[in-house]
Amino acid sequence: MIGKGAKASHLSYLGDTKIGSGVNIGAGTITCNYDGTNKHCTVIEDGVFIGSDTQLVAPVRVGKGAYVGAGSTITKDVPPGSLAVSRVEQRIIKNWAINRMTGKKR
């Protein structure tokens, strides 16, 4: 069920999800609703913004007016009006590709 004015026009999977009004679902968002035995529901309340490439691991609720940062994996409820971000800090491994191609040990 998708509420009035909600947008999810990009490639996303939103199985067993209740989506409120005025929600924006970013491209590549998926709800992980099956644990191998049972299906669970994801609830996205009114006015929520879900950034691109987000995974919502059900059962989980994203509260009214909350934001979820792109690339996040959400496993806990997000309180209304909050920002949820789950990312590992980016690392740069210098010369990794060059060493791989030349067979050098790292």
Which residues are catalytic, by number? 10
* CA–CA separation, 14 and 57 (whole Å): 11
* CA–CA separation, 28 and 65 (whole Å): 20
Q: Residues with Cβ < 8 Å from 47, sequence gap 6 or more?
A: 20, 21, 22, 23, 64, 65
| CB atoms near residue 28 (< 10 Å) | 16
* CA–CA separation, 52 and 57 (whole Å): 15
